[in-house]
Chain A
Amino acid sequence: MTISQVSFGSHEPVLDVKDLTVKYIGDTRSTTAVDRVSFSIGTGEVFGLAGESGCGKSTIANSIMRLLKDPAKIAGGSISFGGKDVLAMSPEELRRFRWQDVAMVFQSAMNSLNPVLTIGEQIVDIFTTHAGYSRKESLRRAAELLELVRIDPARLKSYPHQLSGGMRQRAVIAMAVALKPSLLILDEPTTALDVVVQQEIMAQIKELQRELGFSVLFITHDMSLMVELSHRMAVMYGGRIVETAKAQDVYTNPRHPYTQALMGAFPPLTGPRVPLTGLPDGVKFRNIPDLTEAAPGHFVAPLGADAPVIDSADLAGAAR
């Protein structure tokens, strides 16, 4: 199953983020972690957010879930989910919104399981708390859920340490989709896993997405992985989006120099060995302007006059 065969979903956005600005406010100075970021995710669409550590991608995920804590403050913009204003939700509305509408798998999610409760007890908890099912009914559903991610239901009685890392991660994903949310946020879901397990987890997510039809916000720094899974993607740098387009377009024709550097950071597995460069040390982009449409559906931040120049001679020099 390749990406081109996946339907792109309708244009009805599930999530609409507009001009989101998040600041970390300190006593002496403040940092803008996310700066006027806008994007939307359609029904059944997988949207990727790529960027390096510190670029603000996890802050965006936490803003959507309303998980930001002091000193982080949403300083501007709006987040709407299915027409509802997420930023205006009351604590009671938030409780329902989280997990039922939007679920999140965190970066080291496999370590977020409670070590003194069995997997079964933790899944049953979700159903009894959020859906109000009886214990017996919850157990039945918990077993189904594990089957969905191909874990033997007998494992309901296992403690987290009795499962391998990959199984734990799958259990966490099963828990995230337990209440059939319409949006699943995956924050680096496979970073701590080996390649073989990583590929199986990603295949699992693809399959679940096809079966259950939820939308996905997929956050990672691994461009190859992102292009494989996402329909559309955005590349972030220093709190701003520098490029957004269909994932295949970004892959075949990256337009912003930072995107090109990120792409160039992953050596290919086939073809001749050519020198690559990545981003030369010390190169910084500042004052990134708003996106403009460079090609149909392909938005890129134009380079300002003060943008660093990375010409091909420099790149060749760095490779040597």
Chain B
Amino acid sequence: MSHSLTSPVAASTSRTPALEIRGLGKSFPIGGLFSRDSVRALHGVDLTINRGEIVALVGESGSGKSTLARCVARLEKPTRGAILIDGVDILKRDRFQASRAFRSQLQMVFQDPFGSLNPAHRIEHFLRRSLAIHGKGGGSAEETVRRLEELMTTVGLQADMLNSYPHELSGGQRQRVAIARALAVEPQVILADEPTSMLDVSVRIGVLNLMRKLRDEQGISMLYITHDLASARYLADRTAVMFAGELVEEGESLDLLSNPAHPYTQLLVSAVPDPARAGSYDPVRRAELRQAVMASTTCAFDGDPNQACSAEEPVRHQVGDPENRHWVRCHLYRPWAGAAGHALAGEPTPPGRPASNAQEKASA
């Protein structure tokens, strides 16, 4: 069994994206047994990840990014839409549940490295099991051991840690084991759901660097789900912004974060603490952005000759140079009424409240 990455199949389909999501939707029923109400967690999501590309999906909690990950990982059954890996719709191919073939194409790395490794087993067990189940262990025992050591080296761990138990490792080391476990299967796509948010800050960047190295050296594509815009900018080639279960903007990461076009993206970017930034918190501007997200009456891209504005259809306007593949959803399109993010649904700050008034009340 060879581990070469340029199999004939891959070479012939190198034009096909590694992962393509088309019109994905997911509704969850709410209320009692006979209730017909449902909450729309995802709606019409289109996202493409090319080979050897890292795409970041950012948004606040409740925006639907984890639901998207769970649908793509087949932990949740999408209500509608298609998920294509190598151009094959896996929802049609594996109709009822994820097949082993699918699992060998797509692997996951979860948020919590403390919960995702069984404490009763040595590190070797996790990796050996992945290799055995997917038939990647090679023919002989020596070959398997060589593979195990190779995996540990790839993720930057000592081979003698194979004999350790998870509790003997730090959070960063555990997350590296989780990545090694995903790699053992030789997947095309890794789905990483907030892989660094539970790690200590000083080791986070090491895990991000490892993910970048895997992309560069092994051509693995990744969907990196995070709420940390700065890390998305650091790691991902492209970034997609999700709000209320729909994508509102997508583009080359540096371009998107320096020229955010959608008010929601602007809201997110302006909220990131950054000591280097000159401006500061402006409640009036904040209220305007909230208003523009929830019920915009104007679109900055009105008059776009290619894409006329529409309040009904989620029209994508091109932003700047086509090379950056940066688009924004028409501002006129309103988010689904039942899906207002809790951050935005919160009571808007009354603009321009005089400070003297507050002083009076405070000292009353």
Contacts of B278 in A (CB 8 A): 2
Kindly list chain A residues whose C-beta atoms are within 8 Å of the C-beta of B269. Answer: 269
Q: Which of B157-214 contact A (CB under 8 A)?
A: 170, 172-173, 200-206, 209, 213
**Given A196-B343, A211-B355: A251 and B205 interface contact (C-beta under 8 Å):** no
Question: Chain A 263-307 against B: per-residue CB contact (8 Å), 1 yes, 0 no?
Answer: 011111110010111111100000000000000000000000000
Please encode chain A, from 171 to 215, with 1 for each CB lying within 8 Å of some chain B CB and 0 for all others.
000000000000000000000001111111011000100011000
* Stretch from B17-25, B83-91, B228-236 at the A interface: B228-236
CB of B271 within 8 A of CB of A198, answer yes
Candidates A147, A165, A196, A211; contact of B271 at CB < 8 Å: A196
A75 within 8 A of B: no
- Confirm or deny: B274 has a beta carbon within 8 angstroms of a beta carbon on chain A: yes
Nearest-neighbour CB distance to chain B for A228, whole angstroms, equals 5
CA separation between A151 and B346, bound complex, in Å? 10
Bound together, the chains give a CA A277 to CA B205 distance in angstroms of 6
CB neighbours (8 Å) of B121 from chain A are none
Residue A224, interface by CB 8 Å: yes
The residues of A that contact B347 with a CB separation of less than 8 Å are 150-152, 167
Annotate B338-364 by CB proximity to A: 1 below 8 A, 0 otherwise: 000011111101100101001101101
Within 8 Å by CB of B229, from A269, A276, A318, lies A269
| Complex contact A269–B230 (CB within 8 A) | yes
CA distance A44 to B132 in the complex (A): 62
**Residues in B neighbouring A202, C-beta threshold 8 A:** 273, 281
Quick one: closest B residue to A229, CB to CB?
B273
Contact pick for B209, options A147, A198, A221, A275, CB 8 Å: A275
With a cutoff of 8 Å between Cβ atoms, the chain B residues found around residue A1 in the complex are: 280
User: Would you call the interface of chain B mostly helix, strand, loop, or mixed?
Assistant: helix
Given the known interface contacts A52-B201, A196-B267, the answer about A224 and B343 at a Cβ–Cβ threshold of 8 Å is: no
Residues of chain A lying within 8 A (CB to CB) of residue B200: 52-53, 221
Known contacts: A211-B362, A278-B206. The answer to whether A270 contacts B276 by CB under 8 A is yes
* A247 nearest CB neighbor, chain B only: B275
Flag whether B60 is at the interface (Cβ < 8 A).
Answer: yes
Given contacts A228-B273, A265-B204, contact A195 B233 (CB under 8 A): no
Interface size on B, residues (CB 8 A): 55
Asked if B135 lies at the interface with its beta carbon under 8 angstroms from chain A, I say no
B288 smallest CB distance to A (angstroms)? 14
Contact B275 A228 (CB under 8 A): yes
- The total of interchain contacts (Cβ-Cβ below 8 angstroms) comes to 148
Task: Answer whether residue B272 sits at the interface, using C-beta atoms and an 8 A cutoff.
Answer: yes
Q: Report the Cα distance A203→B257, complex, angstroms.
A: 23
Would A264 and B343 be within 8 Å (CB), given that A53-B200, A269-B257, A276-B234 are in contact? no
B138 at the interface (CB under 8 A from A): no
Q: Does B326 contact A (CB under 8 A)?
A: no
Residue with the highest number of chain A CB atoms closer than 10 Å, among B201, B349, B358: B201
Given A2-B280, A211-B358, A269-B229, A195-B275 contact (CB < 8 Å)? no
A268: chain B residues within 8 A (beta carbon)? 230, 274, 276
Question: Separation in Å of the B340 CB from the closest CB of chain A?
Answer: 11
User: What per-residue 1/0 map shows which CB atoms of A143-180 lie under 8 Å from chain B?
Assistant: 01001101110000000000011110000000000000
Tell yes or no: B268 within 8 A of A by CB: yes
Choice from B205, B268, B277, B345 contacting A267 with Cβ under 8 Å: B205
Q: How far is the CA of A53 from the CA of B199 in the complex (A)?
A: 9
B residues less than 8 Å from A265 (CB atoms):
201-202, 204-205
Closest to B62 in A: A194
Residue contacts A-B, CB under 8 angstroms, 6 given: A166-B343, A196-B343, A197-B346, A222-B273, A224-B273, A320-B209
Query: Beyond A267-B230, A276-B205: 10 further Cβ-contacts under 8 Å?
Result: A1-B280, A150-B347, A150-B349, A166-B346, A195-B271, A221-B200, A224-B275, A270-B258, A278-B204, A281-B206
